[in-house]
A = this chain, B = another copy of it.
């Protein structure tokens, strides 16, 4: 029924890198974890969990494993008891950090204006 030129030409679906990157990093925690790992060399699981204190253990595990699969984070298990697992950023992951930091800098500058706008808009959000 619906003929869509954009769909026919296969736009914005598989060959859109923006789409792809947002599908990967558009989750709630990936970017924050990359930032934290980008500034500290190696971190253990619980260190990360303290630094990002409002992440749940479950989501920290899940997100770290996804980042590992993506090749952005390296995971090293030391067969000790109690267990020790260290996480570090890879070269690929590190290459992303400056871009995230730039975004964070923008946020730093503009967050006040955003918050004021939101207050002006009303309490309904």
Contact = CB atoms under 8 A, between A and B. Distances in A.
B20 A111 contact: yes
Nearest to A108: B17
Q: DSSP majority for the A interface?
A: helix
A22 interface: yes
A17 B104 contact: yes
B114 A72 contact: yes
A58 interface: no
Interface residues of A, number: 52
Given A31-B26, A104-B17, A106-B99, A6 B118 contact: no
Interface of A: 4, 6-7, 11-13, 17-22, 24, 26-28, 31-32, 35, 50-54, 65-66, 68-72, 92, 95-96, 99-100, 102-104, 106-108, 110-111, 113-114, 116-118, 121-122, 125
